[in-house]
Amino acid sequence: MDVANGVVQTKVNDEQARRVKRTALKELNISGAGTGLAKALDSSLKRHTALIKRMRQSLGAENYDQILKDIDTLSLEKYVEEIVGAVVEGISRCKTEKDVWSAVEIISAMHRRFPGTFTPALVSSLAASLAAPSRAALAALSPEQREKEDSARVSRQRPVLRVCAELALVAIIRDTPERSGGEWIMKTIRELLSNDPSLSSLPLLLVFLKSYSRPYLGLSPPAPSKQIPAASEPGTLSDTASEEASQANGALPGSCREEEELVEKDIRDRFKKMCDGYFDNVAKKLVIEHDRLQEQDRRNHEAYIRSGEIFEDRQQAYEKMTKSYEKLLASCQSLSELLYLPMPMLKTASQKTESIQIGMNTGSSILGGDTDDTMGTGGKWEDEEERRFFEETPDLKDYVPRSVLGLEGDADSEDADGKEKERMEKEMVEEEFRKLEEELAEMKIDENGRVLVDEPGKRDAETGEEDADDAPTPTPGTPRESPTSTPQLAPQGPSQLLTALLARLPDATNRSLIDQAAVDFAFLNSKAARKRLVRFMGQIPKSRTDLLPHYARLIAILNPYMPDIGHEVVAMLDEEFRYLQRKKNVVKELSEVRLRNVMFLSNLTKFGVVPPHIILHMFKVCLDDFSGTNVENLALLLEGCGRFLLRSEDTRVPFAKMIELMRRKQSMAHLDQRQLLLLENAYYQCNPPERTARQVKERTPMELFIRHLIYDVLTKKTVEKVLKLLRRLDWNDPVVLRTLHKVFTKPWKIKYGNIALLAILSYDLQRSHPAFSIGVVDQVLEDIRRGLETNMYSMNQRRIASAKFLGELYIYRLISSGIIFDTLWTLVTFGHPEGRPTPGQPSPIDMPDDFFRIRLVCVLLDTCGMCFDRGSQLRKLDNFLTFFQLYMLSKGPLPMDVDFMLNDSLEAVRPKLVLRTSYEEAAIAVDEMFAVAYQNAGIVTGDGGDDSGEESGDEDENETGRHERDEDDEDEQGQLDSPVDERAPSPEAVLLRSTLEHVGPTQEDEADFAKELAKLVTDTSSDSRKVDKKTALALWDTALPPPVVRKKKNEDYDEDGEGTAGEAAEDPGVMRFTLFTKRGNKLQTRQIAIPAESALAVQTRTAQMQDKVEQQHLKRLVLNYEQREEAEELKARSRQGPIKIRLAG
């Protein structure tokens, strides 16, 4: 005790000394920050370079004096940034506590000289050094590489974390000017721990707590006389320990005043709470890993029993799991000691097994200790139906008169006889159990698993066997006397009724029929009838084992009032069992007879007809010769009545002893795989392991009603009914709204064929609840995206249902085609470098042998691909299918089912599509597709072209984009107007689409254009004076647009009716001009967009209007003139009379 007190007192004194040093340095840093040195400072490059080099090597104690001397004598202003990098590198080489404190004092000296430039840069660099690793980067590494990376990272960050913890205590790292840096340290450690599912950063927390648990968490070592109670609650033990330590030792740091603490109390409490919560998580993971290790050990043991060896891969996995568990256990123990929290309870192998403990080479017996603890919580019966069948038998005296049952005698004598019989049976069971105990105590097992014990009963059986070999072999299951199947000599009446009853028994395959047969037999009760029934029970067909439980129930109903039936049937089955033991070498011919015999005995045992000592003796006989057919007999007995015997009060102890013996012999005998499997299945069927009850989620009545409507009631015929009921719900209730959202966004929980009905409901509900439908669409898209990011095999069915639901939402006009195409392109590009799948660059979330995305595309195409058959949607789908072929060819050979599914989908949307055969061919087609798209959009991909050309190209791109958007809108509108599934279009349909407003040229563009136009006009006017008339005419001819362009422009003008009006309608607020330029002998045209409000556009439009008015006026004059000429000509001809026409030969 004195030694322990001395150790605690030493720790207390060391912590007190460290607190004093930190407090003094903190005050010095606060008061001396920014004070310059009065003496002249050296600025030589050589000494500065030497200082930086020395800092990079180490900031430890060996360089401490020289570095401080240089800091005091050198100017350092121009080298602050380099010094910051050197300090961070030197910190990583500080291993001991003395080196860490040396680094802290050196940094403090630099801080006092350059608080504004050095300190912020240093804190930023230290924060970057303590940053948590990227999950994406770690996911790309193999487990071995990840382990090495984590180990190297922890080694780098360990000294940095210790130095940062000291700097936060001495006022260099601070949260605010008035507070310490405790919050900064807590956030840094939290980020390291929260982004670490593998607990690789746990050693950093251990290093931190080992030196700084007192200043940051307020923890003090407990008194040595106090032990940590196992029942203490997490999070309260450390407070108790601190209080007890404070009471026991007055000089503990915990007894100092609050103003003397280096970290604020709220930070200490939060830090301590965070560490306690992290310890709870580590403890839970330790328990889980412990259970997994125990389970793996049990499986290895069972595998060793089955095959005689443990395979190498299983052994390696077990060793790896053991190593990981031991590492986690050591870390958890260290964390428990540093936080003064109790370790979690880890179940031992005996505590882990919750089923009845029946030997597994342990030599333990279930007879020791309290037998109630060894019983499983399960009862005799597997379920309630079985219990009712074997226990709830009708009493014949309630249906049959007492005189018929022979109950008119003295009731007292009957009761006395019953008690005497019960007493005798009990004595027989006790005697059988006593013999069994003696045999088990003297039992020895040889190397082959044989029992070496002298058994008189066995010798008698062997003698009887030798004698019986000479006797003729009787037919199994038949009595000594030949039965008369038909009562030929019997008088008419009860005999015929009994014959009819026995003929009716093979069809009595339920409880009611067999109970009625028992009542009918009671009315025909006689000694002869009982003998005939016993003979009938010995002639059950070998293939009708399904009748045995019902016949056993018949005997159980009759046995209380006709005990000779049960006694004779049991005696007959016992004799048959002994005969089968003598003929155990006859395997195949008597296998069905053995099955019938053991099953009949098992069912009669569960009805209480077979005395317990008889069935136990049969079990013992099979154990004595544990080989051949007896192994199958044991398995049949365990399956038939093992659970009943193991959980019955009278037979629990001896039967458990027998099962223990069986398990021991099973582990030592050389049995084949089939026999081992039979015994294992039978054992776990009679003694199943304990399992926790399945937790049933509690739901409100409203939630159950909504789920019933969607999951059970919803069909094509009831969709309108369900819609009406859903509309009647309280949509203002957040619980109802949340339940509806859950049901509508989980299409995988309903039948696949009803997903379209769910989309119909979503469409109909959006009229009155548009926000709900938008939320459903948003959640479905989010589920598809999350499926692409995780790519878990267990989520594939959900992803298929989500894709199907998305397509149905488009069919019923809840989303636009743009969302479908965006989803299709995302399916084939997400996760690939630059969105282009390449055979040599596999993606971690879309491996070359993963074809599930092809299934998703096929589901979408099968659902709504037939709608994209015209306009821009046709072109978009063709472009996607071109890229889709590239995606397919980047994979390996398609499986047969995926290939068939793909062919069916493409046949439905593009029957004449010719598939590419190689990746290179598909890549060329994709490149051509993108080139055409860029060309149509006006994007210049090659060299050449000046600035004006690039600007014009951008304008062409805008024009092309607007044109395509207009076509999309027209096609979309046309598709929305078309009937789908004979459903009338709704005028209130909400289209979830976005439109972009045109943005015209800016003022800067207009100024540039005006400048260039003025320059062009000036150059043209000055050049025109230098040429003669002939040259001018030639220039004028070349300045005119080519005839083809003029013809096309005129045709467009005639079709639109008015050129400017058509352009304005296409692109409002902008007027387009064609600019002709000449490069060499080639004439080029460019489109220029001019704002409609500019002077040039207004003047041009005015001139065009005037020309049009003048042209219309001339047109009217010409037409009027022609009409007058025609009228005058008609008048002249009418005066001349009819016209004579002469036909030339």
One-letter-per-residue 3-state SS of 1001-1020:
CCHHHHHHHHHHHHHHHHHH
pLDDT at 262: 78
Q: What is the mean pLDDT of residues 163-170?
A: 85
Q: Answer yes or no: is pLDDT of 19 > 50.
A: yes
The predicted-structure confidence for 925-956, as pLDDT tens digits, reads as follows: 999 999 988 888 766 554 444 433 333 334 34
pLDDT for residue 251: 41
pLDDT at residue 960, as a whole number: 40
Q: Mean pLDDT, to the nearest integer, of 172-200?
A: 81
| Position 227 pLDDT exceeds 70 | no
Asked if 824 contacts 863 with a C-beta cutoff of 8 angstroms, the reply is: no
Give the distance from CA 217 to its chain's centroid: 37
Is residue 361 pLDDT above 60, yes or no?
Answer: no
Greater confidence, 943 or 157? 157
Tell whether the model's pLDDT for residue 223 goes beyond 60: no
Question: Which pLDDT score, from 0 to 100, does residue 527 have?
Answer: 87
What is the DSSP secondary-structure string of 55-69?
HHH--SGGGHHHHHH
* H runs (alpha helix) in 652-718: 652-668, 673-686, 701-708
Which pLDDT does position 941 carry in this prediction?
A: 53
According to the per-residue pLDDT averaged within each range, which of 126-130, 449-453, 564-568, 860-864 is highest? 860-864
| 41 in Cβ contact with 74 (< 8 Å) | yes
How far is the C-alpha of 208 from the C-alpha of 992, rounded, in Å?
A: 55
In order of 16, 113, 218, 265, 268, the CA distances from 258 in angstroms are: 15, 30, 11, 8, 12
Q: What's the CA dihedral at 255, 261, 264, 269 to 10 degrees? A: -40
Q: How confident is the model at residue 246, as a pLDDT?
A: 44
Pick the more confident residue, 1105 or 968.
Answer: 1105
Residues whose CB falls within 8 Å of the CB of residue 331, separated by 6 or more in sequence, listed in order = 199, 202, 203, 206, 282
At residue 991 the predicted structure's pLDDT band, cuts being 50, 70 and 90, is very low
- pLDDT of 558 over the 60 cut: yes
Question: DSSP for 886-943?
Answer: HHHHTS-PPPHHHHHHHHHHHHHH-TTPPPPSSHHHHHHHHHHHHHHHHHHHT---SS
Report the percent of the chain where pLDDT is more than 70.
72
Q: Is 1144 helix (H, G, I), strand (E, B) or coil?
A: coil
**Per DSSP, what are the bridge partners of residue 350?**
none
Is 793:846 a contact under the CB 8 Å cutoff?
Answer: no
**pLDDT value at position 200?**
81
> CA 851 to CA 650: how far, in whole Å?
61
- Looking at residue 222, what is its pLDDT? 62
378 pLDDT band, cuts 50/70/90, is: low
Judged by average pLDDT, the poorest of 534-543, 594-603, 687-696 is 687-696
pLDDT in tens, 646-658: 888 888 888 888 8
Q: How far apart are CA 1040 and CA 1023, in angstroms?
A: 17
In this structure, which amino acid lies at residue 132?
A: A
Average pLDDT score over residue span 168-194: 82
pTM reported for the whole predicted model = 0.37
For residue 956, the model assigns a pLDDT of 41
Spatial distance between the Cα atoms of 824 and 839, rounded to a whole number of angstroms = 20
Of 476, 499, 475, the C-alpha closest to 486 is 499
> 216 pLDDT exceeds 70?
yes
Angle at 605 between CA 539 and CA 550, to 5 degrees: 50
Cβ burial 441-469 (10 Å sphere, 16+ → b, else e) = eeeebeeebbbeeebeebeebeeeeeeee
The pLDDT, as a whole number, for residue 233 is 42
Helix (H) or strand (E) holding 1088: strand 1082-1091
Is the pLDDT assigned to residue 512 strictly greater than 70? yes
pLDDT band at 229 (very low <50, low <70, confident <90, very high): very low
Whether 848 has a pLDDT exceeding 70, the answer reads yes
Phi, psi (5° rounding) for residue 131?
Answer: -70, 145
What pLDDT band is residue 832 in, cutting at 50, 70 and 90?
A: very high
Counts of helices then strands in the chain (DSSP H, E): 47, 2
Query: Which residue has better confidence, 489 or 701?
Result: 701
pLDDT over 80 at 239, yes or no = no
Percent of the chain with pLDDT over 90: 20
pLDDT at 1062 over 50: no
Q: Where are the alpha helices (DSSP H) in 1040-1085?
A: 1043-1056, 1059-1066
Distance between terminal CA atoms of the chain? Answer: 153
Q: What is the pLDDT at residue 218?
A: 79
Amino acid letter for position 958: N
For residue range 733-776, list pLDDT tens digits in order: 999 999 999 999 999 999 999 999 999 999 999 989 999 999 99
**Top-confidence residue, 972 or 659:** 659
CA dist 1072 and 1087 (Å) reads 6
At 718 the pLDDT is 93
Question: Where residue 820 falls among pLDDT bands split at 50, 70, 90?
Answer: very high
pLDDT at residue 1120 above 60? Answer: yes
The answer to whether residue 796 scores a pLDDT higher than 80 is: yes
The answer to whether 651 touches 428, Cβ cutoff 8 Å, is no
Count the Cβ atoms, other than its own, within 10 Å of residue 678. 19
Which helix (H) or strand (E) segment holds residue 1084: the answer is strand 1082-1091
Q: What's the confidence (pLDDT) of residue 130?
A: 84
d(CA 687, CA 638): 9
Mean model confidence pLDDT for the chain = 76
Q: Which of 298-312, 720-734, 1047-1061 has the lowest mean pLDDT?
A: 1047-1061
* Residue from 66, 143, 129 nearest 102 by CA: 66
Residue 1067's pLDDT is 59
With residues binned 3-state (H G I as helix, E B as strand, rest as coil), the percentages for the chain, rounded to 5, are 65, 5, 30
Query: So what's the pLDDT on residue 777?
Result: 95
258-267, 305-314, 899-908: least confident range: 305-314
Q: What is the pLDDT of residue 124?
A: 87
- The bridge status of strand 1082-1091 relative to strand 1070-1079 is antiparallel
Q: What number of other Cβ atoms are within 10 A of residue 1060's Cβ?
A: 18
Task: Report the range out of 143-157, 218-232, 340-354 with the highest average pLDDT.
Answer: 143-157
Q: Give the pLDDT of residue 1002.
A: 65
pLDDT confidence tier of residue 778, bands split at 50, 70 and 90: very high
Confidence of residue 492 (pLDDT cuts 50, 70, 90): low
CA separation for the pair 437, 457 (Å, rounded) = 15
Residue 508 is predicted with a pLDDT of: 86
The rounded distance, in Å, linking the Cα atoms of 920 and 923 is 5
Check whether 1036 has a pLDDT greater than 60.
no
Question: Which whole number is the average pLDDT over 573-590?
Answer: 86
pLDDT greater than 50 at residue 110: yes
> Which conformational region is residue 628 in: left (phi greater than 0), alpha (psi within -120 to 50 degrees), or beta?
left
Query: pLDDT category, 399, cuts 50, 70, 90?
Result: confident
What is the pLDDT confidence band of residue 481, given thresholds at 50, 70 and 90?
very low
Q: Is the pLDDT of residue 989 over 50?
A: no
Report the C-alpha gap between 411 and 867 in whole angstroms. Answer: 89
Q: Which residue has the higher pLDDT, 777 or 321?
A: 777
Torsion sign, CA atoms 1085, 1091, 1096, 1099: positive
Q: What is the DSSP string of 545-561?
A: GGGHHHHHHHHHHHTTT
Q: How far, CA to CA in Å, does 766 sit from each of 69, 246, 760, 804, 988?
A: 78, 67, 10, 19, 9
- 70-89 tens-digit pLDDT: 888 888 888 888 888 888 88
pLDDT surpasses 70 at 999: no
